[in-house]
Amino acid sequence: MAVRLNRIGWTKLQIIAPYVTKENREELVALAEAHTAVNLKAIMRGKPPILGGRTVVLHFTKKQFAAFAEAILAHGATKNGAGFLDKERALTKALKKRKKKGDTKIPGASESGSSGCDLA
């Protein structure tokens, strides 16, 4: 078991630790071995894993982050500590809604440090 736990790594162990009991430890270790940390978090929250998904890292100014937070909260995301739950679905919903309206320009996209952004 020690070798398996070592291979899983601290990140995944921290994800499963609050849920581990003597009865389910084998099952949870097997889940950690089979999934990425992101998918393991989803599974532990009772959500389906995202297979073949993509990760995007965004670097916002304060103004851009405020606009982002406002948009995703208005489209179904919920605050969770310093972050958000369901932000991906909410962002996609907001972008589709803007595109449907024919409004392809994103406010703040031409702000300094941005390479520009539109939905067209």
Do the Cβ atoms of 104 and 98 come closer than 8 Å?
yes
Residues 7 and 38 occupy one common structural domain: yes
Residue 26 lies in a domain: yes
Write out the residue range of the structural domain in which residue 36 sits: 2-44
Residues 70 and 37 occupy one common structural domain: no
Residue 49 lies in a domain: no
Task: Tell me what the pLDDT averaged over the chain comes to.
Answer: 86
Helices (H), the chain: 2-8, 10-16, 25-34, 37-44, 62-74, 87-100
Q: How many domains does the chain have?
A: 2
Do the Cβ atoms of 40 and 16 come closer than 8 Å?
yes
Residue 107 lies in a domain: no
Global pTM value = 0.59
- Alpha-carbon gap, residue 93 to 87, rounded angstroms: 10
Residue 112 lies in a domain: no
pLDDT for 1-25, tens place per residue?
Answer: 788 888 899 999 999 999 999 999 9
One-letter amino acid for residue 55 of the chain:
T
Residue 77 lies in a domain: yes
Residues 66 and 38 occupy one common structural domain: no
Q: Which DSSP state fits 79?
A: E
